[in-house]
Amino acid sequence: MIRDIVIESRSYRSFDETQKLGEEDLRTLIDTARLCPSAVNRQPLKYRLVFEKDEVETVVANTAWAGMLKDMTFPPEGHHPAAFIVMCCDTKICEDPNGCKVDVGIAAQTIMLQAAEAGFGGCMIGAFNPDTIGEKLRLPKKIVPVLILALGVPDETVFICNVDANGNTMYFRDKANLHFVPKRALDDIIVE
Ligand SMILES: Cc1cc2nc3c(=O)[nH]c(=O)nc-3n(C[C@H](O)[C@H](O)[C@H](O)COP(=O)(O)O)c2cc1C
């Protein structure tokens, strides 16, 4: 059921490093993403697959994770993702990378859902400098990174909970390091 996969597909920031995810796994995910809707069917998205250890570490070092959990480091040492998909806007097709953001969201969630179905998990990462990532991964100038997907086999537990009476949506961890993600109630998001 799609709902079950959506529930399972949380943002995970700690991974079992013994579990690999290779180029073929990543290509399978992109092969589904390429079938997604695209505004005016322009399909400006291009993907850089990152699965070699040194490149994975380069992306880890140049991305920011769980900014709300100030006193913790993610991903923890020894629990890094197996791979990344760097989603890029081909500015030869769509001049302004902001103009492809809706396409990015649709494709990103499609990739994450298929990854969850295959037993993987990960996190969408928007906190990075596109120039730095482009340079480190030697991307052509016209290919601009817009969102990064971390992927692997998660080794942490994440639960959905209700937003509290104050409407606080900030995710948090308890003493057992379980991660909780408050979601707004159905009646609070339907506009009369
Ligand atoms: C567009 C976008 C950008 C995000 N960027 C980051 C990020 O830079 N670092 C991070 O740790 N999480 C990032 N996240 C993950 C969110 O923090 C996460 O979706 C949110 O806490 C809700 O948790 P859930 O995905 O388990 O529902 C991003 C999510 C989205 C949709």
92 & 70 share domain = yes
Domain hosting residue 14, numbered range: 2-156
pLDDT in tens, the chain (192 residues): 999 999 999 999 999 999 999 999 999 999 999 999 999 999 999 999 999 999 999 999 999 999 999 889 999 999 999 999 999 999 999 999 999 999 999 999 999 999 999 999 999 999 999 999 999 999 999 999 999 999 999 999 999 999 999 999 999 999 999 999 999 999 999 999
Pair (150, 162) in one structural domain: no
Together in a domain, 71 and 106: yes
User: What are the DSSP calls for 89-116, one per residue?
Assistant: EETTTSSSGGGGHHHHHHHHHHHHHHHH
Q: Do 109 and 161 fall into the same domain? A: no
Whether 93 and 147 map to the same domain: the answer is yes
Comparing CA positions, the residue from 153, 149, 169, 151 lying closest to residue 161 is 169
Rounded to whole angstroms, the Cα distance separating 139 from 59 reads: 13
- 15 Cα to the center of ligand 1, angstroms: 16
Domain count, the chain: 2
pLDDT tens readout for residues 5-54 = 999 999 999 999 999 999 999 999 999 999 999 999 999 999 999 999 99
Nearest CA to ligand 1 atom 27: 10
Mutation test residue for ligand 1: of 124, 148, 171, 184, the one with most atoms within 8 Å of CB: 124
Q: Are residues 91 and 101 in the same domain?
A: yes
CATH of residue 167:
2.20.180.10
**Which residues in 137-146 are b (16+ Cβ under 10 Å) and which e?**
bebeeebbbb
Q: In terms of domains, do 133 and 94 share one?
A: yes
Residues in contact with ligand 1 (CB, 6 Å cut-off): 10-11, 13, 64-66, 123-127, 158, 171, 181
- Tell how far the Cα of 169 is from the centroid of ligand 1, in angstroms: 12
Residues 42 and 132 in one domain: yes
Residues 108, 98: Cα–Cα separation, whole Å: 15
Q: Name the pTM for this structure.
A: 0.98
CA separation for the pair 174, 179 (Å, rounded): 7
